[in-house]
Amino acid sequence: MQRKTSVVVEILRYGAIFLVLGFFVFPIFWMVLTSFKPEEAIMVSPPRFFFTPTTENYVHALHDKNFLFYIKNTLIISVISTAIVVAFGSLAAYSFARYNVGDGHILFFILSTKMMPAIAVILPYFLIFRDVGKTAVGKSLHLGLDQHGALIVSYVMFNLPFAIWLLVSFFQDIPRSLEHSARLDGLSRIQVLRRVTFPLAAPGIAVTAVFTLIFCWNEFLFAYILTRKAASTVTVGVESFFTLQGILWGPVAAAATISVAPMLIFVLVMQRYMVRGLTFGAVRG
């Protein structure tokens, strides 16, 4: 009897898993499928699962629309933004976690900058970057409209608070005695950070980097308003497929698939660190 019940439970469990998985994976599956469909097979009803695959959508996206240009922009902007966010975020989070800087008030204030919707600040940002871009400093740092610097600054502004909050808890989880022990072994404060604290916080830093990069990669509003062509990112690139003649669904799917690929690879690489963090994270018990 016991055995039978557990078999039923197993079947139900796997059924539930497939259901949930299907729910999340199907849109991606459909996107990839669509990207290989000839134009006439895309919008038909009922939807078709079997067709003669074609690469014409990829040719259109990569060749006619030069989509790699958007990928390059996105890569530059996201990677630099993420690097800045992680570097400053870790240092800020460390001091919040260890020295309780501002007694919690500053930490809360930082979060409060996330409380308004991005749309509320987009106009001021537009005006600021327009004017800053005309100054000497703004020119040298590419901070003007339709320049990479403007988007990087915006993304750092919007991701840093979240990154700090995420990292503070990771640093709090590292017992002080680990740092104390290293101090006693003769390391200075800075050496302790480099050789003990940051290696131990690596999983948390990896998680933060992944989140930040994903946010930057997928951001649309700022990219749409602050760029026109030269610094446009993939989301804006895909949008440009919505033409007056109609939406080019095939190329859109191909471009979207190309945009997702680097993120997928990056997350898979980082996953190793994140999982390792979970397995080896038994600092205390």
Partner 1 sequence: MYSLVDVHKRYGLRTVALRKLNLDIRPGEFFVLYGPAGAGKSTILNLLAGLTRPTSGDVRRDGASITHLPPERRNAAMAFENYALYSHLTVAENLAFPLRAAGVRPAEIEVRVKSVAGVLGIPHVLDRRPGFLSGGQRQRVALGRAIIRPADIYLLDEPIGHLDAKLRHRMRAELKALAVDMKATIVFTTTSSKEALALGDRIGILNAGRLEQAGTAAELYDRPANTFVASFVGDPPMSFLNVSVRPAEGGPALVTGDGQSIGKAPSGALGRGGLKAGVRSTALTLVDPGTPGALAGQVEVVEHLGHSSIAVVLSGTDHIQVLLPADARLRPGERVGLRVDPTRLHIFADETALATDAA
The residues that touch partner 1, with contacts defined as CB under 8 A, are 175, 177-178, 180-188, 191, 196, 199-200, 202, 279-284
In the complex with partner 1, which residue's Cβ is closer, 140 or 279? 279
Smallest separation (angstroms) from partner 1 to the CB of 179: 9
Nearer to partner 1, 110 or 196 (CB): 196
In whole angstroms, the minimum distance from the beta carbon of 207 to partner 1 comes to: 16
Query: Minimum Å distance from CB 200 to partner 1?
Result: 6
Question: Strands 242-243, 246-247: parallel, antiparallel or unpaired by DSSP?
Answer: antiparallel
Which residues have CB under 8 Å from 113's CB, separation 6+?
Answer: 157, 161
Phi, psi of 108 (to 5 degrees): -70, -40
b/e 224-255 (16+ beta carbons within 10 angstroms → b): ebbbeeebbbbbbbbeebeeeeeebbbbbbbb
Least Cβ distance, residue 183 to partner 1 (angstroms): 4
Burial class (CB in 10 A: 0-12, 13-18, 19+), 190: exposed
- Shortest separation between residue 285's beta carbon and partner 1, angstroms: 8
Nearest CB to partner 1, comparing residues 21 and 283 = 283
Residues whose CB is less than 8 angstroms from the CB of residue 198 and which lie 6 or more positions away in sequence, other chains included:
90, 205
Q: Which is nearer to partner 1, 133 or 203 (by Cβ)? A: 203
Taking the least distance from each CB to partner 1, the nearer of 55 and 188 is: 188
Residue-level length of the chain: 285
